Amino acid sequence: MPSSSIDHAFTATKNTGRATDPTYAGALSFMRRRYTKNLKGVDVAVWGIPFDAAVTNRPGARFGPQAIRRASAIFDNDPQYPFGRDLFNELSVIDYGDCLLDSGNHQKTPGTIEREAAKILRSGAFLLTLGGDHYVTWPVLKAHAAIHGPLALVQFDAHQDTWPDDGKRIDHGSFVGRAVKEGLIDPDRSIQIGIRTHAPDDFSIKILYGHEVEELRAVDIAYAIAERTGGKKTYVTFDIDCLDPAFAPGTGTPVAGGPSSAKILSVLRQMGHIDMVGADVVEVAPAYDHADITAIAGSTVAMHYLGLLAEKRARERA
């Protein structure tokens, strides 16, 4: 069927409703959502943070937001699988663009991210962040905790990110420990899924290691997440290296032995009753990708967040 319009990211007159761009053409926003800084009446703001100066291995995640947006064009505005619905029938979603950072002064980075995140959250919009390396979650968590208090953290990752930290480091491998120390997250309500490395301290966060994830059913993993978070307001962070490198080669620190995208997407699909107040996808580094495998996985994770929010909205209005 021929499209009736193109470049929906710029030509749309409202934040709901589907786009009609061809998959292979048109301006690339996340899922063709309208680019705007106007947050009035917005349910979800999709925001990119193109930062990767905190990596300890391969850089390149600064290009993650671009890659995820590009890959999201594959969602051609049919009812989205597995939700069976047009996510934008009632859910007002915008692409807020990217965070502007001073590439020559990284000490300003966390404050810049936190202030912009806080501005978005004050509008009442749900913030869906596209990284960037995993350090960007730290200032975003600060902005969320300032509103909600200590959060439950659901972390899909191959790494614990709890390495020693002096409170000043710009490091994607230590932000979780810092978040515990500063009271941003409640470790007794937090869980890490897919861990395949060891750090000196777990800060009492529950861990489902890679081999356990392999042996458990998706429904059991989702149940463990629900049980651990216990109804507490929850931030969900998804480091794409949670997935096995076969499913996500385009990342800075790939670790063998991880789960498939199919299994983890099935887990996400069953997280509809988690009180999710914020979410992100990080560490997509397209320079190491092949045929957009990793970017497609990352964009699908982000789409699942929107699917869960659309279902929640439908339940609230029923």
Please state, in angstroms and rounded to a whole number, the distance separating the CA atoms of residues 41 and 228: 33
DSSP secondary structure string, 93-122?
EEEEEE----TT-GGGHHHHHHHHHHHHHH
Q: Which two tokens stand for residue 234?
A: 């929850």
Check if the beta carbon of residue 165 is closer than 8 Å to that of residue 230. no
Q: Is 159 annotated as a binding-site member?
A: yes
Q: In what order do the strands lie in the sheet with 93-98?
A: 34-35, 93-98, 44-49, 126-131, 276-282, 234-239, 152-156, 191-195, 206-209
Please state, in angstroms and rounded to a whole number, the distance separating the CA atoms of residues 192 and 245: 18
Q: Are strands 93-98 and 44-49 parallel, antiparallel or unpaired?
A: parallel
Q: Is 188 annotated as a binding-site member?
A: no
Q: Is 95 annotated as a binding-site member?
A: no
End-to-end C-alpha distance for the chain, whole angstroms:
33
Helix (H, G, I), strand (E, B) or coil at 229: helix
Q: Is 241 annotated as a binding-site member?
A: yes
HSE-CB at 168 with a 13 A cutoff on CA atoms is 2
Binding residue positions for Mn(2+): 134, 157, 159, 161, 239, 241
Binding-site residues sit at: 134, 157, 159, 161, 239, 241
